[in-house]
Amino acid sequence: MKPNSGTLVINIMNGGKAEAYEGVYQCTARNERGAAISNNIVIRPSRSPLWTKEKLEPNQVREGDSLVLHCRPPVGLPPPIIFWMDNAFQRLPQSERVSQGLNGDLYFSNVQPEDTREDYICYARFNHTQTIQQKQPISVKVFSMDSLNDTIAANLSDTDIYGAKPVTERQPVLLTPTGSTSTKVELRGNVLLLECIAAGLPTPVIRWIKEGGELPANRTFFENFKKTLKIIDVSEADSGNYKCIARNILGSAHHVISVTVKAAPYWITAPRNLVLSPGEDGTLICRANGNPKPSISWLANGVPIAIAPEDPSRKVDGDTIIFSRVQERSSAVYQCNASNEYGYLLANAFVNVLAEPPRILTPANKLYQVIADSPALLDCAYFGSPKPEIEWFKGVKGSILRGNEYVFHDNGTLEIPVAQKDSTGTYTCVARNELGKIQNEVQLEVKDPTMIIKQPEYKVIQRYGQVSFECIIKHDSTLAPTVIWLKDNDELPDDERFLVGKDNLTIMNVTDKDDGTYTCIVNTTLDSVSASAVLTVVARPNPPFDLELTGQLERSVELSWIPGDENNSPITNFVIEYEDGLHESGVWHYQTEVPGTQTTVQLKLSPYVNYSFRVIAVNEIGRSQPSEPSEQYLTKSANPDENPSNVQGIGSEPDNLVITWESLKGFQSNGPGLQYKVSWRQKDVDDEWTSVIVANVSKYIVSGTPTFVPYEIKVQALNDLGYAPEPSEVIGHSGEDLPMVAPGNVQVHVINSTLAKVHWDPVPLKTVRGHLQGYKVYYWKVQSLSRRSRRHIEKKILTFRGNKTFGMLPGLEPYSSYKLNVRVVNGKGEGPASPDKVFRTPEGVPSSPSFLKITNPTLDSLTLEWGSPTHPNGVLTSYVLKFQPINNTHELGPLVEIRIPANESSLILKNLNYSTRYKFYFNAQTSVGSGSQITEEAVTIMDEAGILRPAVGAGKVQPLYPRIRNVTTAAAETYANISWEYEGPDHANFYVEYGVAGSKEDWKKEIVNGSRSFFVLKGLTPGTAYKVRVGAEGLSGFRSSEDVFETGPAMASRQVDIATQGWFIGLMCAVALLILILLIVCFIRRNKGGKYPVKEKEDAHADPEIQPMKEDDGTFGEYSDAEDHKPLKKGSRTPSDRTVKKEDSDDSLVDYGEGVNGQFNEDGSFIGQYSGKKEKEPAEGNESSEAPSPVNAMNSFV
């Protein structure tokens, strides 16, 4: 026995005989609850015995007779496999005539001379022992009838009657089975094998039938050349009479095999384990069937129930054991045995009487995920005795689930047939019986279904084109989809032309092989969707082929062809072209076209043409290549069928008539020698026709004709065979001459300053001397009445077709003098001009002034200069100037209007607001009205001292509050200092927005800490232009105007007066504070015996402008020692009126430091050197040694 197992191992590899272990074995498993037993296991050793020795006589057989070679193998276990071979170990060939029977014998329906041999050997292969046993060779000798007759003749006298009969044909006789009937018993589920082997000459053919029924379909097979009938998986319904019929040309033989299908026992209801609680009832059922019907017997713990310990709760009723009010001692293993003569069945059933509280086997908080609108199955696997009752709840305090929307399965599973999104949540399973209860929670998540919202669509694409299939999906955000593309339900070809994108499939350079169905499959862990579309690759059709001409007649022929491949686009029509090899070899002409369903056409032909035809197929994609030309067909000559077309008679000179026509094409001549008969006569005059025959040309000139006279003309074709039909007549005219007279009574009516209407009387038609084409009006501007200056005269011409007697002259210039005349026009040219007519246009509104410049901006004034209009269009009366201020949010202030005399060209506009942008509108006026205006914008400058002064004066606009202005920048390579001025409520929260100039990227935003009016932008790119603006939060989100600066060597993005900048004022305040501290230290040291007489110098050089520092005006006083703190440069003081001279304010910060890289730290502080040389300079006059303001200090450091 194996440890911890019921397996019994018998090992004879180390000695011992298998026969010692032969017998019937049964396994019993036992514990305190009962005993179970296994089926009987029979162990028998395999055997491969030798053939018994026997003396085999040679088989001498007459040709055509039947023969059976018996094998009779030894009985082995398991039975051997039989086969026949020769001495060379080659299988003997078998056929309908020679075959091996089920018993191993070799059957000859009739022997032939080639069957003679001495090595018919029967082999028996015992697979279990892996041995092959060989029977002694069997000799067969076949005597032919000719040789047999010769032998008999040699042994008999001439007077004896001798001679064997020649080989004769014989009707079939069954070799096996013998007799007319036999029986066969087979067990249910086995394979039924029935065999019939017949003798006869010719070799009989075997056929099988079932009497009174059909052979079972799908389970019937024929083997061994139909000599064996095989029916698999037989059942009782296969019982009956099976007839085999052997037939040849001489007759037939048959045998009936009566088949009976018996059955070993098989289960109808096998007993099942019972789990009962004390006091419950139950049953064990053991039902089996078989043929014959099996008997049922019961065992308890492996002991026949009749002698097993009694149990008052147990009652046996045939194939059923009934349990009533069981107790725990009723637990046992019961065996049911169903037996008949063909076998038995044994089954164990455990009756377990338990008293167990409920247990739930499903893991706690198990997560279930399903797709919306699909079923959700929530497991609650349980165990308990008595069987627990299962209830389901949703949520922590939910009520019990009931109703048709839920399905409760016996195994505890809760089914939600159609789960919705609101089905998501926690579900509680409660199992209870009389011994207790237990609960378990599971989680359900309902996901949105995966959908293909844009499915691939049917596409038709031309060969070598590009096609794209879309597959746009929508899925639950918590699921990760994968998209797979298939072609014809298989993987995409491994071809770089197939490009799979996020939501599409693109095929480049499409070929015919790409035809097919493309499927987009979207998979998630919970669902899968797909959509398909068909791709059809189309192309121009292949050219037709096999052109054939039939039914050739003088004026017709039938053309037929075979269409080429249409390449997935139906052929709509065929175009037939022809070549005239006689007149225009190599040139193909259109003949006709037919529908795409037609492959023959009757073609009309012309005489004297050597035809070749070709066909072109057309579909929606385009035209195919032309087919190969057909054979040539030359038609006979004939008279011309038609005359030249487009006959005309037009004179080129006043005394001639030029007759022209379109010549016939080569195939229209219908024969050789094509000529034309040209005829003419004057119309409405009783003259005879004048005719001339000309060669194959297209023009003839008739000379000596009157001027512009109508003629009747006709042109007729002829060739060597005769004339064409009579041609029709056309009317022509001889040559034209110039008109003789000019139009009269020319009148001009001026409608407005740019439009006039002219009238004239028509000329008599006889004086036109040609076809009247119309009238031409020549007009030109003589001079402008406003300028009185002459210029180059440019004449303009207007043509009025037909017999018109008036016209409009548009586009005239106002306030100008014009002249015009009128002339009549025919096909030859223009007639004489009418006398010049003078007229004037009235005044109009002027054009816009030629320019408007605004210069010399000051605090409260601007200078305007302008140029007069390029086209005054009259006498200027005045100029009108309108202007209005614009604040930082582009809001417009009140509009002010000023009229200016016409002789002025400049104006100084005063009393404007300082540092304010204005928009100007300027136009000129005449007595008619105002002309178009020109606009311009300009800005007044800021107070030089940086001090806001109150605005005064009429028409001035007060600044709008709050506002941010004067945004300035000072940039280094990688950072920039931004400063600004703010007017408005206190405690504003500022921010700085910046970005690369000219870029469409979003603005970057930096928050300014506190209420500072400067900020340092860091991390900038050297040599880059930036845009910047400043805003305040919480105040309607207003911002300053944009400023632009560039990082790199340039100090700032634009040159400004740094003395007016807030950051510089703060910087100077810090410097002054340091100087003040230094002075205080010096003063203290002097009082202690130092050498700095500060107080005396202060008293001696008092400056009335020096004031203590004040918080309201931002000024401060400083003290300086005469020896150590001298003025740095003479004359650099700021004037007492606190203005900064222009030459002092244009300084660059580069002058005050040691180069670009030494001007600012990253925090914006100024680090240039302020001090000059250490040599002492004498003070001049009564000047103070102070630096009275940041502006003064800045202007001193030069």
Residue 1187 pLDDT greater than 80, yes or no: no
pLDDT of residue 97: 94
pTM, two decimals, is 0.42
Residue type, 799: T
In percent, how much of the chain has pLDDT > 70?
84
CA distances from residue 812 to 118, 126, 270, 781 in whole angstroms, order as listed: 135, 127, 119, 8
Residue 1005 scores a pLDDT above 70: yes
Range with the lowest mean pLDDT among 742-751, 877-886, 1148-1157?
1148-1157
* Percent of the chain residues past pLDDT 90, beyond the cut: 57
Residue 1177 has a pLDDT of 38
Give the per-residue pLDDT at 1058: 54
Average pLDDT of span 925-932: 92
pLDDT number for residue 337: 94
Q: How far apart are CA 275 and CA 330, in angstroms?
A: 11
Residue 1088: pLDDT band with limits 50, 70, 90 = low
With a CB cutoff of 8 Å and minimum separation 6, the contacts of 615 are: 543, 544, 547, 559, 561, 574, 575, 576, 577, 626, 627
DSSP for 494-543? Answer: S-TTEEE-SSEEEE-S--GGG-EEEEEEEE-SS-EEEEEEEEEEE-PPPP
Beta bridge partners of 529: 522
Find the helix or strand (DSSP H, E) in which 438 lies: strand 436-447
Per-residue pLDDT at 203:
94
The predicted pLDDT at position 681 comes to 94
DSSP states of 194-262: EE-EEEEESPPEEEEEETTB-PPTTTEEEETTTTEEEE-S--GGG-EEEEEEEEETTEEEEEEEEEEEE
Element (H, E) at 1143: helix 1142-1145
pLDDT tens readout for residues 711-750: 999 999 999 999 999 999 999 999 999 999 999 999 999 9
* pLDDT of 1179: 37
Could you give the strand order of the β-sheet that contains 490-491, starting from the edge strand earlier in sequence?
A: 459-462, 528-538, 516-523, 482-487, 490-491
418 burial type by CB count under 10 A (0-12 exposed, 13-18 middle, 19+ buried): exposed
Name the more confident of 10 and 751. 751
The answer to whether 442 touches 424, Cβ cutoff 8 Å, is: no
Rounded Cα–Cα distance for residues 876 and 928 (Å): 10
Q: How far apart are CA 962 and CA 987, in angstroms?
A: 12
Q: By the 8 A CB rule, do 1052 and 1026 touch?
A: no
Closest-CA residue to 71 (of 51, 46, 57, 97)? 51
For residue range 786-814, list pLDDT tens digits in order: 775 556 678 899 999 999 999 999 999 99
Q: Is 912 helix (H, G, I), strand (E, B) or coil?
A: coil
First to last CA, the chain: 115
Res 275: pLDDT: 87
Q: Reading across the β-sheet that carries 934-939, which strands appear in turn?
A: 896-901, 876-886, 917-926, 934-939
Dihedral Cα 797, 799, 804, 807, nearest 10 deg: -50
Cis peptide before 1190 (omega within 30 of 0): no
Q: What are phi and psi of 95, to 5 degrees?
A: -155, -170
Give whichever of 33-42, 124-133, 244-253, 850-859 has the largest mean pLDDT. 244-253
- Could you report the per-residue pLDDT of 9-40, keeping only the tens digit for each? 888 777 777 778 888 888 988 888 888 888 88
Q: Quick one: CA dihedral 840, 843, 845, 848, positive or negative?
A: positive
How far is Cα 644 from Cα 648, in angstroms, rounded to an integer?
11
Say if residue 144 is exposed, middle or buried (CB neighbours under 10 Å; 0-12, 13-18, 19+): middle
Which residues, 6+ apart, have CB-to-CB distance to 57 below 8 Å? Answer: none
Q: What is the C-alpha separation between 328 and 241, in angstroms, rounded? A: 57
Distance of alpha carbon 828 from alpha carbon 275, whole angstroms:
128
Residue 640 has pLDDT above 80, yes or no: yes
